[in-house]
Structure 1
Amino acid sequence: MSIKLFDLTGQVALVTGASRGLGQYLSRALAGAGADLILTSRRKEDLLPFICEIEAMGQRAVPVALDVRDQSSIEQMAEAALAAYGKVHILVNNAGCNVRKPAFEVTWDDWNLVLDTNLRGSFFVAQQIARRMQAEQYGRIINIGSVTSVFGYAGLAPYGASRGGIRQLTMSLADDWGRYGITVNCLAPGWFETAQNRVMYENKEWVEYLVDRIPLKRPGEPHDLDGAVVFLASEASRYVTGQTLLVDGGISTGAMRATINKHSANDSDIREG
């Protein structure tokens, strides 16, 4: 197998929500594989320090303002992206938000904020960029999902609904756009510490509870996503489309033990429920 399968030299990748968090880690991974970048955020000036970092890596990077809840902003972003490089080969639909509340407390506005950002925004960004990819008969679209697309978690009703929708949207768009040489896949992280959920990781008891349910016995670290995003962006995944790739340390295998610990009972002692 040639390492060239993972080489993104000469490719242009557009990453939404790149002013902080996982968006920046995903961008670094793509730049490290040779891609030039178009980076978006609601405020273009928020991207400028990160643009300097990418340029120091030897890659080009262009900042573009984008509010994924505004249709005209999406259209203007697509035009700016095309003007910057002439082509977009890779789209990483990363922009998202979360409202963490018990279901009884979720408001109408909470629901609309999360679904409009995470699901509606991802679709219309993909639609605009795929129109440009169609002309080239080539494209890689990577929708950022979540382990909540396959598991339900209390307190995350709108978020889980949006990420479940992303998984279904990925399959639909893969079927729609495969004839144009465009693959569409979903990269679904498990439990990673981000700016949005950092307060949870400050709770030692909760972290222990989480780690106990992850087969690899640790939360995700941002660099754990590097290989997955480069794979889905590269020729290595040319016959992969409509799939959800979970990068979750194995938590999606299930959170219940079928046996209790050896130190506390006999191996044959079974718990079912």
Structure 2
Amino acid sequence: MFGKGGLTMTNYLVSDLDHTLLNERGALSPVTQAAVAAVADRVMLASARHPGQMTVLIDQLGLTGPQVALNGALIFAGASGETLRAQPIDDRDAQAVVELVAERFGEVNFTWMDAAAWHVSFVDAAVEFDQCLVPVPLAMDGLKPAGALMLLMIVSDPGMFQTLGQLLKSAFPKLTISPAGDGYLTITAMGVDKGRAVDYLVSTGISRAKVVAVGDDENDLPLLNRAGHAAAVGNAASVVKQRAQVLLPTNEEDGVATLIKSWSSI
């Protein structure tokens, strides 16, 4: 699938979750679940989700190795939840973002996450929706970030989303600001992105050339750029498809399972 030599049983898969490994209902299809579970010792999830929103999926897939949450700001052990690496945003930078957003976009629900909870300014429809899907502990101190691993704003209006993103990128060039799909705008510390998933695996002795990355959205690009092999599901954004070496079926068509089967049968 990746040219001469293809993939083999020694490859290590790093996959995004939403709209990539998961279907459009945010669930694992039986086909994908079975395919991933068969190679569970060589699978890492890399998501913008809070770790608490990943636990059920990790258990369903039988993953025990390192997993990546909050767009790379947190790497934790799948089996125990133990923090392996964490890179918070400087509190002064986080507070400066709060103040700018409050001044220019006062209606936006400013939120942030650490390993323990999701800290929100208020509970709106977006927070309620996420909590209905996979509840995590909530704290009502969104305007007072301290030790934040990721700042998160959910903006449904495309025009406002673009304007807010451009403003923050201009005002805070040293922070990592990434759209994560579905109106999610994420902010992490400088240099913190999903590419840290690959860097961590390499630090444990896994060859970069053996790492296969799969994604669908802009925040997956650092992951694809650092991996030895880059794939995109068929529903991926055009910029992700352009970067990928291989285009898979869509998430609804079990694209990641197709990739796994292409090497697990060798």
TM over 0.5: no
TM score, norm. by length of structure 2? 0.38
- Greater gyration radius: 1
Q: Relative to total residues, which structure has the larger helix share, 1 or 2?
A: 1
